[in-house]
Amino acid sequence: MQIRRETAADRVAADEVHRRGFGDEGPVIARLLTALRAMPSSASDLALVAEEDGAVVGSVLCTRSLLDAPRRLVDVAVLSPLAVAPGHQGKGVGSALVRAAIEKMSKTSVPLLFLEGDPAFYRRAGFVAGGPLGFRKPSLRIPDAAFQVVKLPAHEDWMSGTLVYAREFWDNDCVGLREPGV
């Protein structure tokens, strides 16, 4: 398996991985991907794919959001969405993508990488709960344990505050959990 930057030629295959990987939520994630890719570029932008035998089997994006810190707004990144093709799940593809994203983001001016996700999965890559570190989640619908962050080399101690998701996450209703049937 090879982890590499996504190219324009990979997008159709990467989108299909997300559609299949997210099941019923696939169409929503497809709209989110389109919106995230249309955002103005920034240092926070990163799209990676996992390729095996010439086929894209995993995909992850990191995109710009903001941290509303007491001193000033800070450009940060959000790791989302992450998807692995159903036949390749449970084989380390997702973990490899997350580790590669952290490694690449560590070489930028971005100080923090946030996400919403399963602590048992993301803890292995170094993510920790954001609340105890002084970070506030952008929505009450995000379970406390799922709101996670990893500090990158550009982080400074004064950088704490509220994560403000990029509008694209809100426009596509991809923040937090919805109650079933609501």
Q: What pLDDT digit, counting tens, does each position of 85-116 carry?
A: 999 999 999 999 999 999 999 999 999 999 99
20 vs 52: CA distance, rounded Å: 17
Confidence of residue 51 (pLDDT cuts 50, 70, 90): very high
- The pLDDT value given to residue 180: 62
Name the residue ranges covered by the structural domains of the chain: 2-171
Name the 3-class secondary structure at 37: helix
- The pLDDT value given to residue 24: 86
75 vs 154: CA distance, rounded Å: 11
- The pLDDT value given to residue 23: 86
**Strand blocks (E) in the chain:** 2-5, 46-52, 55-68, 73-84, 112-116, 128-129, 135-136, 147-151, 161-164
pTM: 0.93
pLDDT at 41 over 90: no
Residues 80-86, mean pLDDT to the nearest whole number:
95
- The pLDDT value given to residue 181: 54
Which of 37-46, 55-64, 104-113 comes out lowest in average pLDDT? 37-46
Which of 30-44, 46-60, 121-135 comes out lowest in average pLDDT? 30-44
Residues 45-55, mean pLDDT to the nearest whole number:
95
168 vs 166: CA distance, rounded Å: 5
Q: Domain 2-171 adopts which CATH fold?
A: Aminopeptidase (3.40.630)
